[in-house]
Amino acid sequence: MTDSSGPDVAAVIESLMREVPDFPEPGIQFKDLTPVLADARGLATVTDALAAVAGDVDLVAGIDARGFLLGAAVAIRLGTGVLAIRKGGKLPPPVHGETYDLEYGSATLEIPADGMDLAGLRVLLVDDVLATGGTLAAATKLLRTGGASITDAAVVLELSALNGRATLPDLAVTSLYVV
């Protein structure tokens, strides 16, 4: 599912997002959401729109690193906790890990395998961008390994040309802005 959550959300994102040509490599038109998050109205608008996707959840999970910021803001709005899904090697063992392909290589995501019980928790998964879908797919697999149920995933920006949504057939994904 794609939901722009009204023209105001999309207009705010579009007005604040910075486009950087030829980054991180020639031919790529990088979409920088940093100005959206640094702007009080932008952050509040995006946070409210992402929180509106949640439904009845017990936890918000944010993906390293901008997903941490978004996930924490959404969790505060919802009155839940937040789980930081980390890049590989950042958490003490034991961990659950998942390696996946990116647009420019591969990476690993991890969550604690000890210290918290995800079994039966309803989780909203939050990230900044849906590109090829590898990051959301890996995060979903990690959370399910821990026993969580992913109610929805929500992202600020979807790069539709990379067709990442097709790699997530069993995950409801809401994108606030699609290019």
Give catalytic residues, as residue numbers.
66, 103
Q: How many other CB atoms sit within 10 Å of the CB of residue 153? A: 25
What distance in Å separates the CA atoms of residue 96 and residue 61, rounded to the nearest whole number? 15
Phi–psi pair at 91, nearest 5 degrees: -110, 150
What distance in Å separates the CA atoms of residue 42 and residue 120, rounded to the nearest whole number? 33
What distance in Å separates the CA atoms of residue 64 and residue 128, rounded to the nearest whole number? 10
In the block, residue with structure tokens 């395998």: 113
What distance in Å separates the CA atoms of residue 137 and residue 110, rounded to the nearest whole number? 13
Asked if 125 and 109 count as a contact pair (C-beta separation under 8 A), the reply is no
